[in-house]
A = this chain, B = another copy of it.
Amino acid sequence: MELNFEAADIAFRDEVRDFFAGSIPEDWRTRVRAGLRLNPEELIHYQKMLAERGWGAPTWPVEYGGTGWSPVQQYIFWSEAARADAPAQFHQGLELIGPIIFTYGTPEQKDKYLPRIISADDWWCQGYSEPGAGSDLAALKTTAIKDGDHYVLNGQKMWTSYAHVASHVFVLARSSQEEKRQRGISLLLLDMESPGITVRKIPTMDEKYHTNDMFLDNVRVPVENLIGEEGRGWEYGKVLLDRERMVTASVAIFLKQTISAIRSAAARRVIGNVPLIEQPGFRGKLAQFEIEVMALQTMVLRLMADAANGAESGSRGSMVKLRWSQLTQEGTALWVEALGPEAMHFEAMEGEAAGLPSLPADMPYAMQGALYARVTSIYGGSSEIQHDIIARRAFGL
Could you tell me which A residues sit within 8 Å of B by CB distance? 279-281, 284
CA distance A280 to B281 in the complex (A): 7
Q: What are 5 sample pairs from A and B whose C-beta atoms fall under 8 A apart?
A: A279-B280, A280-B280, A280-B281, A281-B281, A281-B284
CA distance A384 to B284 in the complex (A): 32
CA distance A103 to B284 in the complex (A): 55
CA distance A256 to B187 in the complex (A): 62
Tell me the number of copies of this protein.
Answer: 2
CB distance from A283 to the nearest CB of B (A): 9
Q: Which residue of B lies closest to A279 (CB)?
A: B280
Closest 5 CB pairs of A and B: A280-B280, A281-B284, A280-B281, A281-B281, A279-B280
A284 partner residues in chain B, CB cutoff 8 A: 281
CA distance A11 to B168 in the complex (A): 79
A281 partner residues in chain B, CB cutoff 8 A: 280-281, 284
A280 partner residues in chain B, CB cutoff 8 A: 279-281
Q: Which residue of B lies closest to A280 (CB)?
A: B280
CA distance A21 to B288 in the complex (A): 45
CB distance from A391 to the nearest CB of B (A): 15
CA distance A279 to B281 in the complex (A): 10
CB distance from A85 to the nearest CB of B (A): 31
Q: Which residue of B lies closest to A284 (CB)?
A: B281
CB distance from A371 to the nearest CB of B (A): 26
CB distance from A339 to the nearest CB of B (A): 20
A279 partner residues in chain B, CB cutoff 8 A: 280
CB distance from A272 to the nearest CB of B (A): 14
CA distance A281 to B281 in the complex (A): 6
CB distance from A137 to the nearest CB of B (A): 24
CB distance from A18 to the nearest CB of B (A): 42
CA distance A72 to B279 in the complex (A): 43
CA distance A134 to B144 in the complex (A): 53
CA distance A280 to B284 in the complex (A): 10
CB distance from A315 to the nearest CB of B (A): 23
CA distance A284 to B280 in the complex (A): 10
CA distance A265 to B210 in the complex (A): 54
CB distance from A47 to the nearest CB of B (A): 45
CA distance A284 to B281 in the complex (A): 8
CB distance from A60 to the nearest CB of B (A): 46
CB distance from A79 to the nearest CB of B (A): 31
CB distance from A351 to the nearest CB of B (A): 40
CA distance A279 to B279 in the complex (A): 12
CB distance from A274 to the nearest CB of B (A): 12
CB distance from A273 to the nearest CB of B (A): 16
CB distance from A379 to the nearest CB of B (A): 26
CA distance A387 to B384 in the complex (A): 17
CB distance from A332 to the nearest CB of B (A): 22
CB distance from A232 to the nearest CB of B (A): 38
CA distance A267 to B68 in the complex (A): 61
